[in-house]
Amino acid sequence: MVAVSLRWPAVLLAAALLVGPGAMADPALPQPAGKAILVVSGKIANTNDGAVARFDREMLEALGTVEIRTRTPWYDGAVVFEGVLMRNLMSAVGAQGTEVIAKALNDYRSRIPLSDFERYDVVLAMKRDGAAMPIRENGPLFIVYPFDANPELQADRYYGRSVWQLSEVEVR
């Protein structure tokens, strides 16, 4: 009986430690120093400009970048994309919905379920083959799925979700 009664507080303490990080996330985001290249709106907890969160290139890079190498319908052969994982971005803004609406400079829109970001390493690419992408090269931001790593992604559905010249993300 003594052993059991001693064990319960330990379990509760462990539970508190597990819940802790989420509760302690910083709700406020820093202000963009340079020109904002991405606006995140909708059901987000963390903002820096009213109801939206604005990001410049440095802020995005601060979230940590990764590289994926894949072939796409739009380029010849395999290309290396470097950028932020979409789930890190979602985490940074405290996204609370089920999907996002990704909007491009040419007013192209695509609905992407948030579950895609959990299931796949979807990258918000900022560089292609080591170089920053200007608008004329589908930049500055390009949502890229890891098509080669997951063959089921080589379908029209996911090609349509790969939005280039991304300018805004709305969380719903």
Partner 1 sequence: MTELRSATVTGTRSRRLAQTFLGAIIAALIGAGVYTSVTIEDRQTSIDHLFRYDVAYTATQAVVELLRFQDALLLLDRQRTPEALAEAELRFEILVGRVATLEKGEFAAFAEKTPETARAVSELRAVVTALDPLMADAGPDLDVEQLVARLVPMDAQLIGLAAEANRESAELTQQNREILSRLHRRYSLLSFGLIVTALCLVAVLAWHNRLLLRAHRNLRQSTGDLQQAADDLAAANDAVAAANRELKQQNRLLSEKEDALLAQNVLFDAALNNMSQGLCMFDGSMRPIVCNAQFAQLFKTQQRLDCDADAVPDGTWSLRDLAPDVALELADNIARSRAASFETQCYDGRIIAVAQQPMADGRWVATFADVTEQRQAQARIAHMARHDGLTNLPNRYAFRERIQDALDRRAVGGSMLAVMCLDLDSFKVVNDTLGHPTGDALLCAVAERVAGCVRGSDMVARFGGDEFAILQVSIERLDEAERLASRIVDEMRRPFTIDGELVFATASLGVAIAPRHGADPDVLLKNADLALYAAKGDGRRTYRFFEEVMDELVADRRAMERDLRRAIAERALDLHYQPIVDLRSMKITGMEALLRWTHPERGVVPPSRFIPIAEDTGLIVEIGRWVLAQACADAARWPSHLKIAVNLSPAQFAHGDIVEDVRTALSRAGLRPERLVGEITESLLLTETTSTLDALRRLKDVGIEIAMDDFGTGYSSLSYLRKYPFDRIKIDRDFLGAAERGEESAAIVQTIVRLGAALGMTTIAEGVETLEDLQMLIGAGCPEAQGYLFSPPMPREQVFEMLRSSDVTARRVA
By CB under 8 A, name the binding residues for partner 1.
Answer: 72-76, 105-106, 108, 134-138, 155-156, 159, 164-165
Q: Quick one: 26 or 156, whose CB is closer to partner 1?
A: 156
List the one residue out of 91, 33, 28 whose CA is nearest residue 59: 33
Q: Quick one: 50 or 73, whose CB is closer to partner 1?
A: 73
Q: Quick one: 41 or 138, whose CB is closer to partner 1?
A: 138
Q: What is the secondary structure of 118-144 as a DSSP string?
A: HHS--EEEEEETTEEPPGGGT-S-EEE
Shortest distance, position 38 Cβ to partner 1, whole Å: 16
Shortest distance, position 13 Cβ to partner 1, whole Å: 52
Q: Quick one: 106 or 115, whose CB is closer to partner 1?
A: 106
Q: Quick one: 114 or 167, whose CB is closer to partner 1?
A: 167
User: Which stretch of DSSP H or E encloses residue 11?
Assistant: helix 2-23
Query: How far from chain centre, in Å, is Cα 30?
Result: 17
Shortest distance, position 44 Cβ to partner 1, whole Å: 26
Shortest distance, position 86 Cβ to partner 1, whole Å: 22
Location of structure tokens 């059901």:
43
Residues 62-100 as b or e (16 or more Cβ within 10 Å = b): eeebeebebebeeeeeebebbbbbbbbbbebbbbeeebb
Shortest distance, position 74 Cβ to partner 1, whole Å: 4
